[in-house]
Amino acid sequence: MSDFLEADAPILGGKPSPFPLPAGCHTLAVREVEHYTDTLFRFRVSRPMDFRFRSGEFAMIGLPNAERPVFRAYSMASPAWDDELEFFSIKVPDGPLTEHLQKIQPGDTVLMRKKATGTLTNDSLLPGKRLWMFSTGTGIAPFASLIRDPETYDKFETVILVHGCRTVAELKYGENLVAALNEDPLIGELVHGRLIHYTTVTREPFARQGRITDLIETGKLFDDLGVPRMGPEEDRVMICGSMDMLKDTKDLCLSHGLTEGTNSRPAQFVVERAFVD
C-alpha cells in the first residue's frame, strides 16, 4: 500500500508543490504569520472540522517540500474551542523543518498529522488552588492554549504563567497574549484577577532576571508574588521548555513534595518531554 494519497497539489512559497501528500495528514492553509524576533514567530492556519484536541496537546507538523517531509512536534497555542490553529515557533537556520517553516506566508500549506496528544492537559492534574505554568522560550505555546480555556479556571483558583527568555524581545508573544486575554469578551471576566504573568530574562537588564529554577530555589519567585512556597496540598505544576530546564524544574517539584502525573494517573505536576525549545 502506498504511503501517499492523491490530492490537489498544496501550495508552498506561493506556488504549487510538486510533491505528493503523505497519507494520514491534514492540509492546513496558512491564514496569518507574525515575526517577533530573528528567532521567533507565530502562525495561524485553518482548522479541519474533524480535528479534535484538548488544550495543551501537540500535533506533528510538516511542510509539503519533500518526497518524505520532516515532521516535528508543535503544541497548539490556540485553545480547543478556537476555529483556527495557532503555533509558536523558533527559527533555526539549519533546522530540517524550521529553516523552511519560517518562510511560510498566507496561502501556503502546512501539513499536520491527524492525532493530537500530550501530557500538559487539565486531565493530567488533580484539582488544586494554584496552577503554575513554568515555561522557557517557545515552551509557552501549550500554556497559551490553556490560559485561553475556561476549563482551566474551573479547576484552579489562580493560574500563574511563568515565562523565562534570554532577551526582553522574546517575551513579546506572551505579553501580547495576556494583554489581549484580559480584554477578551469570551474569557476576559474569568481571567481578570486570576491569571498572573511573571516574566524573567537571563541575558539582558530587566525588572526580573535569572533562570526560573534559580528563582524557585531561592524563593524569590514566591516572595515576588506574595504566595507560599509550592506544596502538594494546594499547588499543581506544568513544565515545558529546554531539556535542562525540564530536568531541573522536575527535581525542584519533587523536592517540594509534588508527585508526577500522567493522563491515566493524574497527580500534582506534569512535564512535556516530546520536544524542547
Residue type, 250: K
Cα 134 from Cα 222, distance rounded (Å) = 13
Region 147-153: mean pLDDT is 96
**pLDDT digit string, tens, across residues 49-106:** 999 999 999 999 999 999 999 999 999 999 999 999 999 999 998 899 999 999 999 9
Cα 69 from Cα 23, distance rounded (Å) = 12
Residue 5 is predicted with a pLDDT of 52
Region 107-126: mean pLDDT is 96
Mean pLDDT (the chain, rounded)? 94
Residue type, 232: P
- Quick check: 276 pLDDT over 50? no
pLDDT > 90 fraction of the chain, expressed in percent and rounded: 90
Cα 27 from Cα 113, distance rounded (Å) = 9
